[in-house]
Structure 1
Amino acid sequence: MEIRLINIGFGNIVSANRIVAIVSPESAPIKRIINEARDQGKLVDATYGRRTRAVIITDSDHVILSAVQPETVAHRLVNKESTPAQSEERPDE
């Protein structure tokens, strides 16, 4: 299985294969998920002190906070999937 990485802002990178959901932090259920993850030690704050704009939930129940919009993270994920893997071999010149 190929490991794919996605930039979630400020040079922070997560494994795209492990992402279950990318959601907005505004609703009460998401705020509850954030608080529960904090209590369990499974919260990763990658906002660098900025406002949380996206909450990334992984398959290991880790919750990652990002200062990048959910649409931006999803767009990066989709672009990563649609870009064909480039061969490291160079064509003969």
Structure 2
Amino acid sequence: MSSFPVLNVGFSNIVFKEKILVIMQAESAGAKRLRSEAKDHLRLIDATQGRKTRSLLVLDSGHIVLSAIRPDSLTKRLESADNSIGMEDEEED
């Protein structure tokens, strides 16, 4: 386990927990708007590895991180001390 407080957002991509402001469902209207604006301003980070985007993380720097892991799974990872990668989270379509 890492000594830094990080969140695994899938496929060995990590984000510092203290930088996360919001975790949203990717299909909401607000999330789609944020995603579009971030792309226009070159602040979009795609961590999905080509999979369906399930959640969107808003960082304090204004960057938006796209993840293929569901928001509830990411929330559980945030709350738990164990941040291991679950294959069931990454392989869902």
Identity %: 41
Provide the TM-score with structure 2 as the length reference. 0.81
Structure 2: tracts of 5 or more residues without a match: 83-93
Distance, in Å, in 2 between the alignment partners of 1:16 and 1:66 is 15
Aligned residues: 80
Structure 1: tracts of 5 or more residues without a match: 82-93
Contact 1:55 1:63 (C-alpha < 8 Å) held by counterparts: yes
Provide the TM-score with structure 1 as the length reference. 0.81
Distance, in Å, in 1 between the alignment partners of 2:81 and 2:56 is 19
Greater RCO (Cα-Cα under 8 Å, separation 6 or more)? 2
Aligned-residue Cα RMSD (Å) equals: 1.5
- Counterpart for residue 45 of structure 2: 44
Larger Rg: 1
Shift of 1:80: 2.8
Q: Which letter does structure 2 place at the counterpart of 1:80?
A: A
Contact 1:3 1:17 (C-alpha < 8 Å) held by counterparts: no
Confirm or deny that 1:53 pairs with 2:68.
no
Structure 1 residue ranges (4+ consecutive) displaced by more than 2 angstroms after TM superposition? none
Secondary structure class of the residue paired with 2:79: helix
